[in-house]
Structure 1
Amino acid sequence: MKNIYITLSFVLALTSLKAQNKDTKTADKLFERYEYVDATKEYLKLTDKGKADNYVFKQLGDCYYNVFNSIEAEKWYAQAVTKQQDAETYFRYAQMLKANTKYNDANEQMKKFASLAPNDKRTQNLNEDGTYLNKLLGKAKLFDLQSLEFNSKYSDFGAYLKDNVIYFASARNTARKSYQWNDQPFLDIYKTDYKDGKVNSLSVPADDLNTAYHEGPVTISSDGNTLYFSRESFFDKKFVKTQDKKLKLGKMNIFKATKENDKWTNIVPVSFNSKEYNTSSPSLSSDGKTLYFISDMPGTLGKTDVWKVAVNEDGTFGTPENLGENVNTEGNELSAFIADNNILYFASNGKKGLGGLDVFAFDTTKNNEAINLGKPVNSEKDDFGFTFNQSQNIAFLSSNRDGGKGDDDIYLALPVCNVDLIVTVHDKKTGLVLSNAKITIVDENKNVVSNLISNDMGIVNSQLECNKAYLLNVDRDGYISDVFSMDKAKGGELALNADLSPTEAIVTETEVILNDINFEFNKSNITQQGASELDKLVAVMNQYPEMVIFAKSHTDSRGDDKYNMNLSDRRAKSTVQYVISKGIEATRISGKGFGESEPKVDCGNDCTEEQFAQNRRSEFMIVKK
């Protein structure tokens, strides 16, 4: 039902389809009229009769795509793409695969889409960063979500909080006839109370706004006296007829109402509505001077875009403006909401996301690229209708993710306290900044939070949760890896310096010479001192990727020969295992203990303590360089 958020004559149909042949004529007409439930039944009859081909498979995929049944959509798209399809089919197939968490398969379909649409913004996004998914999954959590009791088994979405009243759109009115798109009742605007941080589980219809047509969602001026909302253009007698003149097709348009005696009255359409295109999902800026909305009007970059229009002092409107490529794509952008701090929240399926529609934030004062809000706001399904009330410090999200009561459900989103961590990596000896250092951030439960690379200024930025301690593993070629701790912080900005010591290993033609690697008496486990030295060996082996090492471990002559041989062999094996644990391939290093059989100083049992120490050593012989 989120599709009504965009348009009644939804643009995913792209253009009116002509029946491929007499067998598909009935189904195609239903598809043209956006009656996807009934169209699906007719196409399925053809598959049962053995009359289906790739065209029918594609149409079935599109039907299920339009009602967001990702399982069935994937099934039919998989059959459709056994023969060449248009670029958009591969894109929609990829979206459904992502919705079903089949990310590798989705990437393969996106590559096919990219080959057919190389100039598409969605292709450029893919080519710019093929690892975006791991970055999204590693983002710090910005909100905690809670389900709400007022959700029904029907579609509920577009919650908006104003003066302790939550307005939202819902298809729960079963007394109304069903909408042919998805076989649910038409939408009405409902409202419920929000008091003392609690959402009332009961809701009532906003009778002064509802009609026999689709309505919702809404936005209200700061003074509470002006309301804008979406409604079908039939109310304003704006529609077009199908080619056979048998069906009237309306649009979603924006209407304005004013408050009198606690009732919404004087309902009129805005001047930039049209029967030729949709205007919906209005959101008014806090100063009342700008109205943001969704439209597919001329000048739209994709299917539907985010637009804005000036609201003049006399109540008239300026010329609508497209928000441009930092917000809009060739895909769908919808459910625009402008917060009091001028951050625009909107949903998109054309940007780098987790699947379906994802929610993004765009700072309208800076005009930078929009930012994906990450999990749990976004999921593999459709996530949209995000609104943020700064004075109450709460947000609402609409989603059709699993676990909800109905098709679309509304969730309460509570901001999570975060720390903006700024790490600068330096050379410990020279103080110079180090670019291309790898920083792995691990939380208290040893979960990897993010993997980052320092920029040309030696800096990485990361947003982490408050009141949690973290460890930062910092590594760079030519330097000894080190671990830095970040104590619990209550929020704000935190700067941390990570100083790495350069490797001081000596590399000759025959061996890599390190400082003494000390073991505890009668033990073979690697000590902290030993690890620091072995990190130098790891750095050298990373510097020489073809190098193969043979590690030799020796003891002094004190003690039993057999005991010394076993002890040195255990130490050699521990040394090898440590190096492998740091990412060196097992085929590149081996080791063996030699006990007291190869003394560096042949002094028997008459050695001085210094000579004993010289014999008690590790050697790293270069087998291949």
Structure 2
Amino acid sequence: MKVKKTILLIVSLSLFFASFGQKVNLKQADKLYEDLAYIKTSEILLDVAEKGYKSAELFEKLGNSFYFNNKMEEATKWYGELMALNKDVDPEYYFRYAQALKFTENYAEANKWMEKFISASSSDLRARSYASKRNYLESIEKVSREIPVTNMSLNSELSDFGSNQYKDVFLFSSNRESGRLYEWNEQPFLDLYSAKKTEEGTYGNVIKFDNLINTKYHESSISFLPTDQIAYFTRNNYYKKRLKKDDTGLNRLQIYRAHLQKDGSWGEITSVHFNSKDYSCAHPSVNSNGTKLYFASDKPGTIGNSDIYVVDILEDGKLGEPENLGSLINTEAQESFPYINSKGDLYYSSTGLNGLGGFDVYVVRDFENKYKNGAPYIVENLGKPINSAQDDFGYYENLGTKEGFFTSNRPGGKGDDDIYSFTVPDCTQEVEGVVYNIDTKEIIPGATVTLYNKSAEKIEEMVVGDDAKYHFTGLPCESVFLVRGEKEDYSSDEKRFETTDNPNEFIKIDLELKQEKILIEPCDDLAKVLDIPIIHFDFDKYNIRPDAEIELQKVLAVLNKYPTMHIDIRSHTDCRGSYKYNETLSENRAQSTKQYLINKGIASERLTAKGYGEYRLVNDCACEPHNDSKCSEAEHQENRRSEFIITSINGKKCNE
């Protein structure tokens, strides 16, 4: 490569290095870097960089050496040096620098470089995810829960990760025993281990799981059919004592199937048909009814570094053709460690979605049903304490025993990766809302809000404060409730709702009360105050219609309740007919309304009445010339009305 030759030339001219020695070192670093032996690479590159040598390629490789070995503080330093060169770089380094900064919880600086990543790669799924929720920290904080997590006593000083349960034992992967070293991290190869539950509820008596499944290379992430007779697990491409590599010399991960033997051991180990020496398949997870297997792979068609796939499990335990779960689940970064629980919720870890740093654990509730039916779904960050600024992955839960497990390399652990346990909390939700006046939309402080279960039994009650907000917590998921709002002088409002299976979902239900006791003032129109429909008259008539009489009873009741009230009855017509005719008609209607109230016992001196003909239309239905309007009958009827204007009450007069 031209860049490599340039590096070697500069090194050879430098007064700070012995020419031959530095050329050898850089060639060796390139070789080790290509072989993914990142620990040795970083040592050699550090030796070059710390003597003052600078180049974009050097800082990229040095940053990557630490980044891919999860030493993010060092990665941050060298990616920072790369950015300080102010040279054009691949936008991928903006993303990696942001991710490394998150490991140190420098979120403000990380967000700055994510903005640069968006500008350079706006169509990237990771950029779109960030752009859609720039307030991701606030969202994660909202779904975080107070769940105690425990570093398990079975953890070692090296790497322990991944969790599953098989019959009465707990299974996990570890490289705790001495042996051949893996060049990537200079630690022993992984094996599968089992631990039994103690009387105290912890797990101990750690032993290797099975001699035929474990080999001298990597084994991890095992999952079982519901019958417990067939297992799927991850192993290096090592089959029939032959280690196979791709054309670049890399040995990939593969999924193997094993059958339980009569003596309790595992045998008949075979490679699943879609494995290849050219890509990896790993971390299988079988669903509760044994029909689907989820796994991670970088096979052709993968969106990013690795994606989540699903494949049908056939009746004989063999597998169908894998299907990529698509861009709603996967990004251009890394998605791995899928786990499908007994309810069909899909958990997995990702470095490409909005998270706290490194791998975060995400969940899609009711994924299997939604995916099968093509229904929309939401990917949710599990929040703290499951997630942290470091790598968090390998989520597993037993909803029967309420045991939960995940793996993290967060500070305070015993080794590189440790397994943490927790008690799966009961699924509960919250409901909240505001109590409003349905007419004015103003809030109603002091209202009482009561929560009932589906049997109409009162669960909880509260009086809202000055902000008129109510909030009930701890509602069991997938249950029916009713919430009711009440206040004196208001009609109540109640709404029935059902909680979902998502413990992080906030249900919002506003309650709208109608004010029954209304302040009335001079000049108010009782028709509007009392929400009385227009007092209608039939065309060319002024007799009181039966429906109008019902509404006039409301006016009568108010006049009886407030004996000091005086009103002016105003009658109006539509435009059809002559001006003179309409004046006479409306006058007759006003007097007819007045006489009705007098006949019902209201003193005549409290009432005035006047007809206004067609001079005060409420719409554009004027007739010019007369009887030439294009309005409908319903629109004309809007103008055939009566109003009831309060002229005085309690000595106060209307000064219209």
Range of TM-score over shorter length = 0.5 to 0.7
3-state SS in 2 of match to 1:57: helix
- Equivalent in the alignment of 1:147: 151
Which residue is 1:192 aligned to?
A: 195
C-alpha deviation, 1:143, in angstroms: 4.3
Q: 1:420 to 1:298 in 2, by over 3 A?
A: same
Any idea what the Cα deviations from partners look like across 1:435-481, whole Å, max 9, x if unmatched? xx9xxxxxxxxxxxxxxxxxxxxxxxxxxxxxx9999999xxxxx63
Rate the CA distance shift 1:487–1:30 in 2: closer, same or farther, 3 A: closer
Residue 508 (structure 1) aligns with: none
Query: Following superposition of structure 1 onto structure 2, how do residues 67-86 of structure 1 map, counting pairs within 5 Å?
Result: 67-82=69-84, 83=86, 84-86=88-90
Task: Report the CA distance shift for 1:194/1:117 in structure 2 as closer, same or farther (over 3 A).
Answer: same
Which residue of structure 2 lines up, in the alignment, with residue 117 of structure 1?
121
Counterpart for residue 256 of structure 2: 255
Q: Does residue 412 of the first structure (1) align with residue 445 of the second (2)?
A: no
Give the one of 218, 221, 224 matched to 2:225. Answer: 221
One-letter identity of the residue aligned with 1:190? Y
Q: 2:467 maps to what in 1? A: 481
Report the secondary structure of 2:99's partner residue.
Answer: helix
Shift of residue 138, structure 1, vs aligned partner: 2.1
Amino acid at match of 1:219: S
2:309 is aligned, of 290, 307, 317, to 307
SS in 2 for 1:365: helix
Q: Tell me, what secondary structure is at the counterpart of 1:271?
A: coil
Q: Aligned partners of 1:431 and 1:364: how far apart in 2?
A: 45
- Measured against aligned partners, the alpha-carbon deviations of 1:333-356 in whole angstroms (never above 9, x if no partner) come to 000111111111100011111111
TM (norm. structure 2) is 0.64
Farther-moved stretch of structure 1 (311-320 vs 180-189): 311-320
Q: The residue matched to 2:430 in structure 1 has which SS?
A: strand
Distance change >3 Å, CA 75–CA 139, structure 1 → 2: same
The Cα shift of 1:76 comes to 0.8
Q: What amino acid does structure 2 have at the position aligned with 1:259? A: L
Tell me the matched-pair count: 448
Q: SS of the counterpart of 1:364?
A: helix
Query: Normalising by structure 1, what TM-score?
Result: 0.67
| Cα contact 1:253–1:280 (8 A) shared by 2 | yes
Deviation at 1:39, TM superposition (A): 0.2
Letter in 1 for 2:48: L
* 1:37–1:183 CA contact under 8 A, matched in 2: yes
Offset at 1:89? 1.0
1:148–1:201 Cα contact (<8 Å) kept? no
- Deviation at 1:240? 3.4
Match of 2:204 among 174, 186, 201: 201
Question: Secondary structure in 1 aligned to 2:270?
Answer: strand
Q: Deviations over 1:506-553 (max 9, x none)?
A: xxxxxxxxxxxxxxxxxxxxxxxxxxxxxxxxxxxxxxxxxxxxxxxx
TM-superposed deviation, 1:194 = 2.6
> More deviation in 45-54 or 144-153?
45-54
Q: C-alpha distance in 2, partners of 1:470/1:179?
A: 62
Distance 1:202 1:495, change over 3 A: farther
1:471/1:202 CA distance change after superposition, 3 Å? farther
Matches of 2:280 and 2:310 in 1, distance apart? 14
1:396 aligns with 2:405: yes
Q: Return the offset for 1:418.
A: 4.7
Q: Return the match for 2:33 from 26, 31, 34.
A: 31
Matched, 1:44 2:53: no
Deviates further, 125-134 or 300-309: 125-134
What is the Cα deviation at residue 170 of structure 1?
0.2
1:354 counterpart = 2:361: no
Percent identity among equivalent residues? Answer: 33
Q: Which residue of 2 aligns with 1:524?
A: none
Give the conservation status (yes or no) of the 8 Å contact 1:279–1:293.
yes
Deviations 1:93-142, CA, capped at 9 Å, x for gaps? 11111111111000001011111111001111111121121110121417
Select 2:286's aligned residue among 278, 281, 284: 284
Which of 274, 277, 293 in structure 1 is aligned with 2:276?
Answer: 274
Letter aligned with residue 158 of structure 1: G
Equivalent of 2:244 in 239, 257, 261? 239
Report what 1:597 is aligned to. Answer: none
Greater RCO (Cα-Cα under 8 Å, separation 6 or more): 1
The alignment status of 1:64 with 2:50, answered yes or no, reads no
Q: 2:434 aligns with which of 425, 431, 437?
A: 425
3-state SS of paired residue (2:134): coil
Q: 1:161, 1:167 within 8 Å by CA — same for their partners in 2? A: yes
Residues 486 and 207 of structure 1, relative CA distance in 2, 3 Å threshold = closer
Q: RMSD across aligned C-alpha pairs, in angstroms?
A: 3.1
Q: Alpha-carbon deviation of 1:389? A: 1.6
* Alpha carbons of structure 1 residues 181 and 18: separation in structure 2 relative to 1, 3 Å: farther
Measured in 2, the distance between the counterparts of 1:472 and 1:43 equals 66
Separation (CA, whole Å) in 2 of partners of 1:334 and 1:471: 45
Q: What one-letter code is carried by the residue in structure 2 that aligns with 1:484?
A: Y
SS in 2 for 1:276: coil
Per the alignment, in what secondary structure is the counterpart of residue 273 of structure 1?
Answer: coil
Distance 1:324 1:29, change over 3 A: same
Q: Which amino acid aligns with 1:345?
A: Y
Shift in CA distance, 495/155, structure 1 to aligned 2, threshold 3 Å: farther
Corresponding residue of 1:134: 138
Give distance in 2, aligned partners of 1:482 and 1:219.
51
Question: Residues 50, 377 of structure 1: CA spacing in aligned structure 2 closer, same or farther, 3 A cutoff?
Answer: same
Would you say the 8 A contact 2:429–2:474 is kept in 1?
no
C-alpha distance in 2, partners of 1:305/1:118? 21
The within-5 A match list for 1:370-381 is 370-381=379-390
Q: 1:178 aligns with which of 178, 181, 185?
A: 181
Match of 2:369, SS? coil
Aligned equivalents of 2:66, 2:314: Cα separation in 1 = 43
For 1:395 and 1:423, locate their aligned partners in 2 and report how far apart those are by CA, in whole Å.
Answer: 29
Deviation at residue 161 of structure 1 after TM alignment: 1.1
Distance 1:421 1:20 in 2: 62
Corresponding residue number in structure 2 for 1:345? 347
Correspondent of 2:170 among 155, 159, 166: 166
In the alignment, which of 320, 327, 330 is matched to residue 328 of structure 1? Answer: 330
Q: 1:33 to 1:195 in 2, by over 3 A?
A: same
Contact 2:197 2:204 in 1 (8 A): no
Within 5 Å, give how 1:67-106 maps onto structure 2. Answer: 67-82=69-84, 83=86, 84-106=88-110
2:236·2:251 contact (CA, 8 Å) conserved in 1?
A: yes
* C-alpha distance 286-19 of structure 1, shift in aligned 2 (>3 A): farther
In 1, distance between residues paired with 2:440 and 2:27? 74
> Aligned in 2, Cα 1:366/1:52: closer, same or farther, shift over 3 Å?
same
Corresponding position: 1:384 with 2:384 = no
- Does the 8 Å contact 1:132/1:352 carry over to 2? yes
Alpha-carbon spacing, 1:168–1:358, altered in 2? closer, same or farther (3 Å): same
Distance, in Å, in 1 between the alignment partners of 2:400 and 2:429 is 22
Unaligned runs of 5+ in 2: 9-22, 372-376, 445-458, 484-508, 519-656
Question: Looking at CA atoms only, which structure, 1 or 2, has the larger radius of gyration?
Answer: 2
Which residue of structure 2 lines up, in the alignment, with residue 318 of structure 1? 320
Partner of 1:601 in structure 2? none
Deviation at residue 195 of structure 1 after TM alignment: 5.3
User: Aligned with 1:222: secondary structure?
Assistant: coil
Assess if the C-alpha contact under 8 Å between 2:431 and 2:473 holds in 1.
Answer: no
Instruction: Say if 1:269 and 1:20 are closer, same or farther in 2 by CA, change over 3 A.
Output: farther
| Equivalence for 2:447 | none
Contact 2:428 2:474 in 1 (8 A): no
Tell me the distance in 1 between the aligned counterparts of 2:69 and 2:7.
Answer: 25
**1:279·1:296 contact (CA, 8 Å) conserved in 2?**
yes
Change (3 A) 1:120 1:354: same
For 1:423 and 1:198, the matched residues in 2 are separated by: 38
Question: Which whole-Å deviations, capped at 9, do the CAs of 1:297-352 have from their partners, x for residues lacking one?
Answer: 11111110000111211333211100112211111000011111111110001111
Q: Contact 1:284–1:290 at 8 Å: present in 2 too?
A: yes
Deviations 1:469-495 (A, max 9, x none): 999999xxxxx6335364776777666
Aligned-partner SS, 2:73: helix
